[in-house]
Structure formats: structure tokens, C-alpha cells
Copies of this chain bind each other. A is one copy, B any other.
Amino acid sequence: MNILEKITNELDMLSKSERKVAEVILASPNTVIHSSIAALAKQANISEPTVNRFCRRLDTKGYPDFKLHLAQSLANGTPYVNRHVDENDTADEYTSKIFESSMASLELARKSLDANDINRSVDVLTQANKISFFGLGASAIVAHDAQNKFFRFNVPVVYFDDILMQRMSAINSRQGDVVVVISHTGRTKSLVEVASLAKENDATVIGITTTGTPLAKECSIVLSVDVSEDTDLYMPMSSRIAQLALIDVLATGFTLRRGSKFRDNLKKVKDSLRSSRFERKD
């Protein structure tokens, strides 16, 4: 994808003159994107048609098209890929890597989500008699956050990060109740059991998990949040960030479905916190 890498890879396949072009480009790509074909040819001490042939060999239409690809490759280095933290990274380096990996995960997760499933979930949530959010470990905080959000909507909502409470709650659930089960791996035994218990009791079970996991199979609706957890140093990192974004999406969907009067209410909830805060001077 990145044209600079491609040039490096295909360096052997190039002829002598074409390689001269490649070297000039690799040496200062930022100059090249502002050069005409004539300027580049002169710089590399070869003729203009050679530059043109070089561009075609890299599967671009010609010189202007090549410059476009080059410009894109230079924009922000390589944008938002999962970069691995290295033992010797400086604070600045690992900070960037972690933030960028988080962004990459959000991008991935967004692609794995299906708008239909979100719509159905919002439908079900707005009509629920009771909403429960269940998660364990890192997903517990996602459930915790969901409670914090849905609580503002003045609907009966609970969250449990305790296996026994989750089981009891699942067993007591009934038609019209919605149980949201959150698990990145989708393989946590007790959570899969809880999902199936809730389902047996006619609750609607929404799973926030990775595609195709045991948990996914037990759910009425699956909201797929696929991320690559490569950067993780044995800790869940990107997965919960993507899950939180999904909670935001559900909460937003909920408020939109409820209409504008409802949102005025939310403002009141927020305003009620004002007295607990220091005034803003500006």
C-alpha cells in the first residue's frame, strides 16, 4: 500500500537508470512531490521517459498519479496502524504507539459493527422494562460505564461485575428485560452461562463481543467489536476502548430515539451537578 515501501521492495526488479530515480525519490520524497518530471529526471541524471517508465512499473498511471500516491504515503507517516511497543521506547514513543493503536482499533471496530444490529439493539433497549449490563475484568468497567450513561435516562438499569450477582439476576430476568453481556474474548465460561440463563428466561440478550465466539452464539443480538489486541502487554487495552465507544453509540441511539423532549431532561441531569463544581471564570 505504502508506495515508499513498494519502491524499496521492488528495487531489485528495476533497471539501472530506474534505480537512480528510486534512490533520488527515497532520499528526499518531500522534494519530489513538488518537482516536475523534468526536474526529477535532471536530479537523477536520466531522461524524462525513464521517470515515466519507472512510475508505470510501480503500477501507477504515470508521473502525476505517482506523485499522488507518494503524497499520500507521506501524509502522517503511516497513519494509525497497530505499532508494537518496544523495550527501548522512550515515553514519547510508547505514548504515540498506544494512542495510535487505540485509534487503529476504533477504526477496525467501527468496520466490524453492523448498523442493523445497532438499530435492533436500540429498539430493544428503548422498550426494555429493565436493562442489565454484565462484564468481568476489563469489561466490567465497560458495564460500569454503561450503567453510568443509562442511569441518566431514568430507566431501571443495573450493572454487576460479580459472578453470583450476575447469575441471580439472569435467573430472575423475564420477557421484556434486556441483558447486555460484555466480553472481548467471548470465552469466559461464567458469562456465557449467564447469557444462556438469561435467554432461557426469555430476556433479550445483547452480546458485545468478538465475532464467532461461544458467547456470540448465545445472544439474541450480537454487536461485533473486533479489534486486534497485538500491542497489549498481557493486558486488555484497545478492546475496552472500542467497547466504550459502542456504549456511546447505543446511548446516543437511545436518546435520538426518545426525541428532543427527552434530551432536555438530560440537560437537567447535567445541570444538577453544577453546584458540586467550581465555577468557570471565562
Contact = CB atoms under 8 A, between A and B. Distances in A.
B87 A256 contact: yes
Interface in A262-282: 263, 266-267, 269-270, 273, 276-280
Contacts of A33: 68
A106 B99 contact: yes
For A255, A256, A270, the residue with the greatest tally of chain B CB atoms inside 10 Å of its CB is A256
A167 to B, nearest CB: 14
Contact of A122 (B91, B140, B185): B91
A145 B263 contact: no
B245 A233 contact: no
A98 interface: yes
B137 A141 contact: no
A77 B77 contact: no
Contact of A235 (B149, B192, B233): B149
Interface in A68-112: 68, 71-77, 79-80, 85, 87, 89-92, 94-96, 98-99, 102-103, 106-107, 109-110
B149 A141 contact: no
A129 interface: no
Given A107-B99, A110-B96, A245-B241, A252 B276 contact: no
Contacts of A98: 245, 248-249, 252
B106 A91 contact: no
Nearest to A80: B76
A119 interface: yes
A186 to B, nearest CB: 8
Interface string A95-139: 110110011001101100101101100100000000000000110
Closest 7 CB pairs of A and B: A75-B75, A72-B75, A92-B115, A99-B110, A187-B277, A234-B266, A76-B79
27 contacts: A67-B68, A68-B68, A71-B75, A72-B75, A75-B79, A76-B76, A91-B116, A91-B122, A92-B115, A94-B252, A94-B256, A96-B110, A98-B248, A99-B245, A103-B107, A138-B145, A138-B148, A141-B141, A141-B145, A141-B148, A145-B240, A152-B235, A189-B276, A189-B278, A234-B267, A235-B251, A241-B244
Interface of A: 33-34, 64-65, 67-68, 71-77, 79-80, 85, 87, 89-92, 94-96, 98-99, 102-103, 106-107, 109-110, 113, 115-116, 118-119, 122, 137-138, 140-142, 144-145, 148-149, 152, 185, 187-190, 192, 214, 233-235, 237, 240-241, 244-245, 248-249, 251-253, 255-256, 260, 263, 266-267, 269-270, 273, 276-280
